[in-house]
Amino acid sequence: MPKEAWGSRLGLILAMAGNAVGLGNFLRFPVQAVQNGGGAFIIPYLICFLLMGIPLLLIEWSSGRFGGKFNNHSTPYIMDGMGKAKIWKYVGVFGIFTNIAVVAYYTYIESWSLVYVLHAVFGTFEGMSQSDVATFFTSYVDIFTTSTGIPFEAVFFYILVLALNIFILSKGLGGIEKVAKIGMPLLILFGVILAVRGLTLGESGKSELFPDANAWDGLNFLWTPQFDSLSNPKVWLAAAGQIFFTLSVGMGTIQCYAAYIKANEDIALNAVSAGFMNEFVEVVLGSSIVIPIAAGYLGLDWVLENAGFGMAFQTMPFLFQQWGEVAAAFSGVLWFGLLFFAGITSSLAMGTPWMGFMKDEFGWGKKRGAWSFGALALIMGLPTVLLYQYGVFDEYDYWAGTVSLVVFALLEAVLFSWVFGINKGWNEINEGSDIKIPQAYKFIIKYITPLLLLMVFLSALITPYQNEWMDSISNVLNGGTWVLDNSSLIKNITNYGLKEQLQSAINQSDIDFLEKK
């Protein structure tokens, strides 16, 4: 029986929900939804949640609690205990590095949020034009605008946020639980207030410059289902990617949290509750803030053209100014405070696999575990801060935040159903459970989830030119060749750094065919 355990069921659910609810819910989801056709995205997204998200949650929660029974608290040890081959331990180690690479850039965004709370309070954005607000951000992260080549403010706050994470982690589960108990309710409260604003803004932001501004257009775009997207692999891949990222599956953080659940305690209901809580925050709150508020002032067309990660920091502070000085400060604190809480409850989770591993392998205590984690995160993270303009940040997001999650999820799904064995696995899921998971999930976990994960992985390998699947297939049927997109995994692995040269070497007639479409 593990000595350390969660203080209460509420604490556990809030910590697990805090792990899942993160920057992805507010920054990544709306952008993915807009870029993949709004209502066209939602159906594949929900199907991916049911067929991959829920099964992976059940796999991870039950694997974690199983490992905890043998006093294992880290993915290498938990996985090692589930399969005889030594390789599983190394798969677990691979999972740990995903966490460190994600936390490296994730805490950088966390630090922006904290800084922007302060700037909102001090009224930095007062009277700024939209382009001033946007420039404010670019010069914050820019190494070229400082004479030394080091963006000191950015580095300072990055290290401060890392230190805060180390401090909380060194307090152990109790510290994580406390932050989740404060952070999650506040996040939801802040989110609800902003969402009410988003949902009631209507046409009040209309101006001479933006006569089409209408928040309802943004909401309609997101919420009018379009079934034609169901045949487009591009949308499915984006939906699957968002599900992995938002639920924090495929990284091992859930296993490590679940390792501290007592052997006879429920996991089925807890896993499903935390998963649904994440979906509520993502689908309801995440889609009711940035998109309608931006559409309410700048119009849906602007949103469609400019939807991107930058909206949160480069546009929102300007839009808040439209509500007057006090309301702008207030909204800025709510919005960036919400992002900060969302971020920190997730980054803390990413510390636990490393700390658990050091504990299992070397018997390290919490302080040593937390400091060594912080040091690794700093070493990995400084390049994202100092070389932001060179795309280091995006590379981390691609390799750690996208590819690794799918690879790890596929391997753990195989381990659970085919090596550990679905019958044993199903018993683990149902042991002590407060709800009955439908029997169909036994079939889904064994066959459908691994198969879908394999398909996602293979499709990422061979993503066609400009992600145009239908056209590429018809090009091949017409005797052409399959032209890979630069975003395809194969290209990223083999042509790294040489993308342009190789791009120009591919068959021009195939490109012409695809571009004519």
**Helix, strand, or coil (residue 464):** strand
Contact between 239 and ligand LEU by CB under 6 A: the answer reads: no
Q: Which of 75, 246, 270, 459 binds ligand LEU (CB under 6 A)?
A: 246
Choices 73-81, 148-156, 243-251, 472-480; region in contact with ligand LEU by CB under 6 A: 243-251
Q: Which 397-426 residues touch ligand LEU, going by CB under 6 A?
A: 401
Our CB check for ligand LEU shows the closer of 348 and 415 to be: 348
Examine residue 24 and tell whether it contacts ligand LEU (CB under 6 A). yes
Is 381 near ligand LEU (CB under 6 A)? Answer: no
Query: DSSP string covering 446-461, please?
Result: IIIHHHHHHHHHHHHH
Q: What residues are paired with 464 via a beta bridge?
A: 484
Regarding 52 and contact with ligand LEU (CB under 6 A), the answer is no
Residue 229 within binding range of ligand LEU, rule CB under 6 A: no
Structure tokens at 407: 């690879």
Cα dihedral value 328, 334, 338, 341, nearest 10: 120
| C-beta closer to ligand LEU: residue 23 or 483 | 23
Which CB atom, from 24 or from 464, has the smaller least distance to ligand LEU?
Answer: 24
Q: Which stretch binds ligand LEU (CB under 6 A): 23-31, 213-221, 229-237, 489-497?
A: 23-31
In sequence order, what are the residues at sequence separation of 6 or more whose Cβ sits closer than 8 angstroms to the Cβ of residue 271? 16, 54, 57, 58, 60, 61
Q: Which residue type does 110 have?
A: E
Per-residue x/- mask for ligand LEU, residues 347 to 376, rule CB under 6 A?
A: ---x--------------------------
Smallest gap from residue 411 Cβ to ligand LEU (A): 17
| Pair 248, 64: CB distance under 8 Å | no
Rounded to a whole number of angstroms, the minimum distance from the CB of residue 165 to ligand LEU is: 13
What is the DSSP secondary-structure string of 29-81?
Answer: HHHHHHHTTTHHHHHHHHHHIIIIIHHHHHHHHHHHHHHHHTT--SHHHHHHT
Nearer to ligand LEU, 222 or 298 (CB): 222
Residue 6 near residue 267 (C-beta atoms within 8 A): no
What distances in angstroms separate CA 174 from CA 110, 170, 221, 363, one per listed residue? 22, 10, 42, 19
d(CA 360, CA 215): 52
CB of 401 to ligand LEU, least distance (A): 6
Q: CB of 274 within 8 A of CB of 16? A: yes
C-alpha–C-alpha distance, residues 64 and 2, integer Å: 12
- Should residue 245 be labelled a site residue for ligand LEU when binding is judged by CB under 6 A? yes
The widest CA-to-CA distance across the chain, in whole angstroms, is 69
Instruction: Verify binding: residue 25, ligand LEU, rule CB under 6 A.
Output: yes
Tell me the residue number closest to ligand LEU, measured at CB: 22
Question: Does the protein bind ligand LEU through residue 22 (CB under 6 A)?
Answer: yes
| Site membership for ligand LEU, residue 248 (CB under 6 A) | yes
Q: Tell me whether residue 23 or residue 261 sits nearer to ligand LEU (CB atom).
A: 23
Backbone angles phi, psi at 337, to 5 degrees: -65, -45
Least CB distance from residue 280 to ligand LEU, whole Å?
13
Q: Is the dihedral of CA 330, 331, 336, 338 positive or negative?
A: positive
Residue with Cβ nearer ligand LEU (297 or 396): 396
Q: How many residues bind ligand LEU (CB under 6 A)?
A: 12
Can you list the alpha helix ranges (DSSP code H) found in 122-252?
130-141, 152-169, 173-200, 215-223, 233-247
Calpha distance 448→454 (Å, rounded): 10
Q: Using the rule CB under 6 A, is 102 a contact of ligand LEU?
A: yes
**Which residues within the stretch 463-502 sit at the binding site for ligand LEU (CB under 6 A)?**
none
Q: Which stretch binds ligand LEU (CB under 6 A): 20-28, 115-123, 222-230, 259-267?
A: 20-28
Q: Based on the shown chain and the rule CB under 6 A, indicate whether residue 346 belongs to the binding site for ligand LEU.
A: yes
Nearest to 259 by CA among 117, 466, 105, 77: 77
6 binds ligand LEU (CB under 6 A): no
The conformation of residue 229, written as its DSSP 8-state character, comes to G
Residue with smaller CB distance to ligand LEU, 246 or 314? 246
Per CB under 6 A, the segment of 9-17, 244-252, 321-329, 501-509 that binds ligand LEU is 244-252
Q: Does 23 bind ligand LEU (CB under 6 A)?
A: yes
Q: 484: which strand partners?
A: 464
Binding piece for ligand LEU, criterion CB under 6 A, among 19-27, 83-91, 108-116, 390-398: 19-27
Establish if 286 lies at the interface with ligand LEU (CB under 6 A). no
**Minimal distance in Å, beta carbon 514 to ligand LEU?**
33
Nearer to ligand LEU, 109 or 358 (CB): 109
Q: How far is the CB of 346 from ligand LEU (least distance, A)?
A: 4
Stretch that binds ligand LEU, among 69-77, 109-117, 220-228, 240-248 (CB under 6 A): 240-248
CB atoms within 10 A of CB 488: 21
Q: Which is nearer to ligand LEU, 151 or 401 (CB)?
A: 401
- How large is the C-alpha radius of gyration of the chain? 23
Q: Does 165 bind ligand LEU (CB under 6 A)?
A: no
Binding of ligand LEU at residue 16 (CB under 6 A)? no
CB of 321 within 8 A of CB of 229? no
CA-wise closest residue to 41 among 33, 49, 52, 31:
33
Q: Does 380 bind ligand LEU (CB under 6 A)?
A: no
Using CB under 6 A, list all residues that contact ligand LEU. Answer: 20, 22-25, 102, 245-246, 248, 346, 350, 401
